[in-house]
Structure 1
């Protein structure tokens, strides 16, 4: 029996011997193939990375050219638009009593359209600066309530033309805040003109200025328009975002105003948010710090 087992072991060993010898060779070939595949993939990755870097550089150059073009066009459009709006207001003041209803309506259309175009130009200029990383804030003491009163007066004619009332509630005795006056007014104008745009005839827009938490002031603009869904609110402050609905008088938008508002407010270290529901109007709230970053 022992001899039989020994013979069986010898036979089995003889059969396995070639397989054992082949294993190192096969493993070596597999390793070599693996390294070759890894080298090929690394080369492809390097090529893709170089192509991506080139595409990014071309995209950055194209974006810079676009910003320069937008800036030049906006600057060139601003002056003639101001002239058109100025002469329209002058005509309205001087000859309003001698115009019939149709003529007055045409003159009002000229004035409103030039105002709308001027807002678009200002937004285009702001976008070009923001995308180029050039948001510069010139902070100075600003009376937020006074700024709101001035902005309400500026938009009064637009509101009257749509039959919309504007109510301003400004808390008395607020301290001046260290803000960029021009850019803060741009935020107010965007919010107020939007509120008028989406208000129905006979509606009311409420503007409020009050103290917020300690060291903060709060601006609010509320309308009684169609409101917004949760999905619309989620993308509202992104550039070129439009709700898909025109204003109540058919006014359009390019979807830049609220993006610019958010950027300006956050540049001040502030916050902007919206509270709205379908059919319930919209309330935009802006919170701004009273002191600048160096004073905080």
Structure 2
């Protein structure tokens, strides 16, 4: 068995993202090279089939225009040759065009995986050669004096044939050779300088059309390459999205399983812990008599204190698990935030006094009640005050403020003169069991669950949680509850009104 390395731990059981991308690229290159080696044209099979498909589509769609063009040439040729000759030539052109169209449609209807590309390429080349031979018979239409007409007809036929067969170079060459030979044969009708010049220009034009078809072929291949790369990118993006969705689903399932496990274990641990706390409290208070040794009393106190610490930790884990699992139910009722804050301040006064800390409280007495969970509000305030007392050094100060928000809601601010939190550690302290470096060195031990629980409870109430801190300047936590939870004072009940009081009405008015 090989030793476990840091790289193996970092990437887990599978390759890293960069390694997976590299392997995918190598596999794609190997597949492409294998297809090119087995191809006669040096392209991938998919490209060969696509080029033949383009040719077949062009040929299948050009039958009617070519037929009309052949009829026009035959009608014009009747000025030099008998109608029967022109009609026979036009009929031959129609038959060859029909044959090529049928071959093209047959290719388009075949299964791409079962097609023999080499055989079909030769079929298309043979069809082009046959059709060009028929077009070349046009020189017979101008034999009695219309050789110039035949010359330009051959040039037009060469242009059409090379453009239509551009995606199959062998077919383009097969289509052009008979037309060039027929063009050169026109020199037998006249040996004048003008005739030689015209024939030379016509032949050069036909060769130019062949070069242009090669450019069209290269452009089509480039477009196919671009489309293949785009399709590959889209496929990779789809695969990456699918992998991301699957990873997110697994993470959500794992997080839910973790929360359920913690909730179950918390309940299982609290049962024996309650017994430990009960018996240790009996021993600490010497209910059944004094201890024979004074050390036993100290041990009992240590057992009880450790049990209480463990119970608080289990309660925090249970609360956080319920919040993350979405199973924390709020028991909402009219609650006076100022009263809850005052009770919590009184409960933490002894701990602050033990560290010679000064707590400054500023509470707006005009605040109405909130429609909220009293237990959750009390836990929010206690956690924030406990953190402030815990992280503030002896002799420090703590500012506790409760008041209106600009939009008519209520806010709670807890600020201390502690060591503060660096900006790069704000995310750490907001995570479960996360604690900053300065907090670990200067503060008492804690679980690191206080702030995540506070944030979760605030969000359950529809409020906002803000954490502001800078090193050596202290920390401030602001909890804002929405105006929709603030309640107006109920109007007095008179004798003329029903005895039942109306339900509490929520308001979003701006406080003066």
User: Shared fold by TM > 0.5?
Assistant: yes
Pairwise CA distance, 1:203:
3.1
Residue 16 (1) aligns with residue 208 (2): yes
| 1:225 aligned counterpart, secondary structure | coil
| 1:125 aligned counterpart, secondary structure | helix
Residue 192 (1) aligns with residue 385 (2): yes
Q: Structure 1 regions of 5+ residues with no counterpart?
A: none
Residue 73 (1) aligns with residue 244 (2): no
Matches within 5 A, 1:33-72: 46-72=238-264
Q: Hey, what does 1:292 align to over in structure 2?
A: 485
Which deviates more from structure 2 when the two are superposed, residues 174-183 or residues 262-271? 262-271
Pairwise CA distance, 1:288:
2.3
Q: Hey, what does 1:242 align to over in structure 2?
A: 435
Supply the distance in 2 between the matched residues of 1:201 and 1:125 (Cα, whole angstroms): 32
Pairwise CA distance, 1:183:
1.1
Q: Hey, what does 2:348 align to over in structure 1?
A: 155
Residue 175 (1) aligns with residue 363 (2): no
Q: Can you list the C-alpha shifts for 1:221-263, whole angstroms capped at 9, x where unaligned?
A: 2322212334444665444542123357653344332122123
1:132–1:247 distance in 2 versus 1, CA, 3 Å? same
Q: Hey, what does 2:419 align to over in structure 1?
A: 226
Supply the distance in 1 between the matched residues of 2:271 and 2:329 (Cα, whole angstroms): 23
More strand by share: 1
1:269–1:278 distance in 2 versus 1, CA, 3 Å? same
1:42–1:238 distance in 2 versus 1, CA, 3 Å? same
More helix by share: 2
Equivalent residue in structure 1 for 2:396, among 189, 194, 203: 203
Q: Hey, what does 2:326 align to over in structure 1?
A: 133
Pairwise CA distance, 1:202:
3.2
Supply the distance in 2 between the matched residues of 1:250 and 1:224 (Cα, whole angstroms): 13
Pairwise CA distance, 1:147:
1.6
| 1:71 aligned counterpart, secondary structure | helix
Pairwise CA RMSD: 4.2
| 1:245 aligned counterpart, secondary structure | helix
1:108–1:161 distance in 2 versus 1, CA, 3 Å? farther
Q: Hey, what does 1:261 align to over in structure 2?
A: 454
Supply the distance in 2 between the matched residues of 1:191 and 1:282 (Cα, whole angstroms): 11
TM-score (norm 2): 0.47
Matched residues, number: 294
